[in-house]
Structure 1
């Protein structure tokens, strides 16, 4: 009554009897023990060779000590260990940074590779869906190397054939929790290779004091804070346009005042003019003497000032046509930076439709034609929705501070920015922890960079006004 069929023959079985049962018994092939032993030994040898190739120092030290112990006894080995430790202590006291760079971070990377990533690699890849099990064989992405610095691990991975970057970007939460990190960011190294960044601590947890005013006049990039990797945050304003978006209390003022602070010597030298539009009458009005008569708060005054900036831009374009393609700041043709605080009040919430149209048209004209002739726009807003700010794509460089919703991250930084690690909706609302923290996405790079702008206090602004109060007049 029951029929046993080997292999895949059950597919071809057609039964017309209701009570017929098919019992499937797969074919079993017994592998000789000698073949299993050979495979195991070959894998062991390959693993040892790979370990020696990738970690020569970490392998040479214990092997060398073992040989000394075996050849000359433990006394010489212990003496050598003591000498190495003394040399390490001397090196640490003389040049701690080079010791960390050449020895410390490499040892930490090896330890993290063995104890964290390689140990849990199979399980995390399988559970997260990045590995595959087909026809009795596991297919896993290859763990290429691990590099460590002061704040994060950088894990280089070779993707499986047929995988896309989005497959990894959609599983950053799985990867972060799987390897015990607070977050994970995905960046493309080259075709088929990714770099996963797993932070171990937050180097931007503490507020930063205001950056000192530069000694020499410069139009930028302007140093206004610090990047997550410890490098200075330098914001480019000449030759581009910048949009800063963030909820109330996110720290937009730090970016505005940090930029003004860095341009003060150039303003005094007549190479830069800052035109301030302050419809809220709160942020930029605190340093109004710095801007002279290039300050506007009333919506009509803001529209007039923007129209004047458009006239300056068009006059320069007529003079530069056929002569030069890029602007070089001079006293005759200074760089004009138009700073707009809460631009949505002028483009979306303005009740006067005629003023709204004038302001929107002027901003669109400046952001499409201004940077080639030395007119830039630095705009800040709270609500990044398209119906509020329909020209946000005209800003090449964008900064996302703390946002209320995850969808707003891609609205500000572009599609896929949040999947690449720009978790602006996760920034702490506590001012001490999250004010001024954000993600910068430049025109030249699709990968967002986590940064924190230095806090420019009221006392700093008063000092700026006291030292540079006549900048607006001197520049003219």
Structure 2
């Protein structure tokens, strides 16, 4: 029926059906068996060495009983290992933090590697599109070391040649669902290597009580809450400017009052002055006695107070010129923190055009020139759109609390912040779950950090006013 084809092509033909395209098998290179065995043996040795290097505790836990059982039998092994097990249990009960650091989390990391990541690596990579299936062969990113912290798994990955960080950032939802985590955060370790963070539980799920007022006077960084890794969240206010954006009820007041609370000893020592602008008459007025004459609520008074701050800044700049390049707080030249509760009310929603112009010009001057001479701005707003706050890029440090739209995340934190894991639009609107939770992007790092601010209650503010209000002139 078919005419015989000359040459070596006919044996490679898979199908010659008239209405089906001709498909050829790929060429197969036959290698000697000894080379195959050498390659497989070399891979096994490398894998064993890496396993021992990355998980020494897990290897000992598995290897020691096996070796003892082979040499002396299971009864002798049981007798020898029973005191060790009793000692480990006692250690874990008496000093759990050190036990988890040296033993517990190392075993957990090995178990998570074997039971979760290595087990599901191939299907998750292929389904998510991060791996490629070409001519019957899977090309997968290389799974590296798995480390466990108190709250998350840190997985090191080597990307395929030609992949970009954005390819992984766009598939964080796929990775989280594929490995059974609530979320996934992608960060760059070095060229070609990434670190994937998979939370096992949320350490920021419950509200935090107000941080105690420091015993010593300091201009910061100020502890105002907790980071996702359990470490204290230290907010820098001296030598920078901070913008806080969040929807109604997101917890902007928690950040403002926690910052004020941490500066009170320095206020008492004369090293800090807090100037408060409260156009809504709702937030800062509750602690008005803490600000003395440096409090304004009427838009006209707010403009005057900002103009006064600009004069202080310009006077210092003239005195510092040629003598110093940075500010050190003193009683004669204290650090001035200008706190604006709802800055958009003054810069966008103010009907008086002249006041709006004065306020915008003063804020732009302070944010461009103030931090070198010890004048900082801490501003909060609800709507981060450019037409509402056109100087938002002049704030080096930014905080995004719960936002209404995903596009607003990049408006506040900068382009690509949401792709790097800043899911501020997905924070729960329930106050007990999401109030005070947000993402921070610092001037020194492009990667957003998930945090939660401590809640400063009305009683806490009353106590602050009672203890420090009379000392503010």
Q: Which TM-score bucket, shorter chain as reference?
A: over 0.9
TM-superposed deviation, 1:94: 2.7
- 3-state SS of paired residue (2:472): helix
Would the aligned equivalents of 1:242 and 1:395 in 2 still touch at CA under 8 Å? Answer: yes
Partner of 2:434: 434
> What's the offset of the Cα at 1:104?
0.5
Name the residue aligned to 1:363: 363
Show the counterpart of 1:15.
none
Could you say what secondary structure the match of 1:470 adopts? helix
Q: How far, CA to CA, are the matches of 2:119 and 2:6 in structure 1?
A: 38
**What is the CA-CA distance between 1:107 and the residue it aligns to?**
0.5
Match of 2:289 in 1: 289
SS at match of 1:280: coil
CA distance in 2, matches of 1:8, 1:406: 59
Gaps of 5+ in 2: 11-17
| Deviation of 1:57 (Å) | 3.1
Q: Name 1:212's counterpart in structure 2.
A: 212
1:77 and 2:74 matched: no
Match of 1:88 in 2: 88
Following superposition, the deviation at residue 160 of structure 1 comes to 1.4
Gap change, CA 1:5 and 1:265, over 3 Å in 2: farther
Cα distance change on mapping 1:9 and 1:28 into 2, 3 Å:
closer
Q: Deviations over 1:67-100 (max 9, x none)?
A: 2223222222101221111111221233211100
**CA RMSD for the aligned pairs?**
2.2
CA distance in 1, matches of 2:4, 2:293: 95
Rounded to whole Å, the distance in 2 between the matches of 1:464 and 1:136 is 69
The TM-score normalised by the length of structure 2 is 0.94
Give the alignment's TM-score, normalised by structure 1.
0.93
How far apart, CA to CA, are the structure 2 residues paired with 1:211 and 1:448? 23
SS at match of 2:59: helix
Q: Secondary structure at the match of 2:225?
A: strand
1:406 corresponds in structure 2 to 406
Which residue is equivalent to 1:26?
25
Q: Is the 8 A contact 2:158 2:192 kept in 1?
A: yes
Query: How far apart are residue 35 of structure 1 and its match?
Result: 6.4
- Give the SS at the match of 1:60: helix
Q: Who is 1:225 aligned against?
A: 225
Aligned residues: 465
CA distance in 2, matches of 1:388, 1:310: 22
In the TM superposition, residue 7 of structure 1 has moved relative to its aligned partner by 11
Output the CA distance in 1 between the equivalents of 2:34 and 2:311.
83
Cα–Cα, structure 1 residues 472 and 41, in superposed 2: closer, same or farther, change >3 Å? same
In the alignment, is the contact (CA less than 8 A) between 1:287 and 1:462 conserved in 2?
Answer: yes
CA distance in 2, matches of 1:49, 1:332: 63
Distance 1:88 1:165 in 2: 42
How far does the alpha carbon of each residue in 1:349-370 deviate from its partner, in whole angstroms, 9 at most, with x for none?
0100110000000000000000
Deviations 1:187-236 (A, max 9, x none): 11111111110111110011111011111111111111111111111100
Structure 1's 259 and 75: CA in aligned 2 closer, same or farther, altered over 3 A? same
Partners of 1:27 and 1:93 lie apart in 2 by 61
Change (3 A) 1:356 1:74: same
| Residue segments in structure 1 that go unaligned for 5+ positions in a row | 11-18
Measured in 2, the distance between the counterparts of 1:438 and 1:28 equals 56
d(CA) in 1 for partners of 2:217 and 2:256?
18
User: What is the aligned partner in structure 2 of residue 14 from structure 1?
Assistant: none
Q: 1:129 — aligned with what?
A: 129
Contact in 2 for aligned 1:254/1:436 (Cα 8 Å)? yes
* 8 Å CA contact 2:55, 2:106 repeated in 1: no
CA positional deviation for 1:163: 1.4
Q: In 2, distance between residues paired with 1:352 and 1:242?
A: 26
1:13 aligned partner = none
Give, in whole Å, the separation in 2 of the partners of 1:24 and 1:4: 17
Is 1:188 matched with 2:188? yes
